[in-house]
Amino acid sequence: MSGRKLLMGMVGGGRDAFIGGVHRAAAHLDGQVNLVAGCFSSDPEKARLSAEDFFVAADRSYSSYEEMAEKEASLPVGERIDFVSIVTPNFLHAPVAKVFLKKGIHVICDKPMTTTLAEAKELKKVADESAALFFLTHNYTGYPMVKEARERVRKGELGRILKVVSEYPQGWLLDSIESEGQKQASWRTNPKKAGASCCIGDIGTHAENLGHYITGLEIESLCAEFTSFVEGRELEDDGNLLIRYKGGAKGVLYASQISAGEENNLSIRIYGTEGSLTWYQEHPNELKFIPKGQPAQILRRGNDYLSEEAQRFTRIPFGHPEAFLEAFANLYLEAFRAIRDRLDGKEPEQPYDIPGMKDGVYGMAFIEAAVQSAASNEKWTPFPDLA
């Protein structure tokens, strides 16, 4: 440990914003950070009040992210922010990230990384040229039981993977709440702010990333059906996909924002030649593992029978449930470890288990292929070559 709390900045995430609050809680949970600077809102009054809420000094509450990057970078290490969390609508991710990366300030960015694949590749170039680190908060990979799932797959307990079923139904966009001014709905359904996809870009990409994280499978081609059920909505609010993975596995993936009664019901089922795994995000402390021909096993967070990787990201004993914020905080913990290692000039003791630039580019390729397929009469749309 580098002997002091890390200093955090934030772009976006003012009062009442959803994901900004999540990032702050996740960052604070383990007592390793002080939030000392921010550009919380384009509305100056809201920015000021937000800074007060978050105990950020007035002189480090900035009105533009460019100014923030400029000024913070000019402060000495130990006073300047060690990293910035970007929690704006999608279209600002890349511009903001570039500015900070160029100033050598580490970036933790919400997903999807950009609004197009081209923009993602461009951002990658900037990151490649920067000494600063870039992390992407595909937060569902932070759950200990998701890590356990990956370990089980890696150890071969499922044999060869045959099929992946990932679902992500929500219902919050069933009505046209964007036309009533609901803020998040407004930008997510707006192609200028969200990019070319709403539902798949927002949550389908989480479902894809989850399967990719656990199985390592890469998509060969896909077949997508997009629907915009709500009148007047430009982007899709429901997307269903058939997937062919390299090597012969098959996938069904769907995401929906118009499924009445569904809250945030991300789930994944992975079937192999030797067994299967099932995980539900809304009951994240459990992972069902069924070895072929044997009773289902309910693996539960915090037990000694779990892998070291699942244990490493567990804070409290079994039966004391951890949940969304703890999983999100697990990404921050890995980012902190990486940042501290940089500060201390240390090599990592083990790889940092946190998504980054590669996942961001892959995710944008997935979104773009899905958008393209949805508009196509071809049955199978090939996944873009990222090499």
Q: Shortest Cβ distance from residue 335 to a second copy (Å)?
A: 17
Q: Shortest distance, CB of residue 344 to a second copy, whole angstroms? A: 14
Q: Which C-beta is closer to a second copy: that of 79 or that of 129?
A: 79
Cβ neighbour number for residue 195 with a 10 Å cutoff: 27
Q: Give the largest Cα separation in the chain, rounded.
A: 64
Q: How many residues make up the chain in this entry?
A: 387
Report the C-alpha gap between 385 and 130 in whole angstroms: 24
CA 165 to chain centre: 19
Q: How many CA atoms lie within 13 A of 196 on its CB side?
A: 17
| Closer Cβ to a second copy, 134 or 289, answer by number | 289
Nearer to a second copy, 181 or 351 (CB): 181
Q: Is the Cβ of residue 66 or residue 380 nearer to a second copy in the bound state?
A: 380
Nearer to a second copy, 129 or 231 (CB): 231
Give whichever of 25 and 75 is closer to a second copy, judged by the CB atom.
25
User: What minimum distance in Å lies between the beta carbon of 79 and a second copy?
Assistant: 16
Rounded to the nearest whole angstrom, what is the least distance from the CB of residue 273 to a second copy in the complex?
7
CA distance to 166, 235, 292, 317, per residue, from 299 (Å): 19, 39, 16, 14
Instruction: Tell me the C-alpha distance between 91 and 110, whole Å.
Output: 11
| Phi/psi at 256 (5° precision) | -150, 145
Q: Can you tell me the distance from the alpha carbon of 230 to that of 235, in angstroms, rounded to the nearest whole number?
A: 10
**Minimum distance, C-beta of residue 210 to a second copy, in the bound complex (Å):** 15
CB of 94 to a second copy, least distance (A): 26
> By the 8 A CB rule, do 302 and 172 touch?
no
Residue 64 vs 376, nearer CB to a second copy = 376
Minimum CB separation of residue 153 from a second copy in Å reads: 13
Distance CA 235, CA 367 (A): 13
Distance, CA of 342 to CA of 346 (rounded, Å): 6
Q: Which residue has the tokens 């929500």?
A: 170
DSSP code of 180?
G
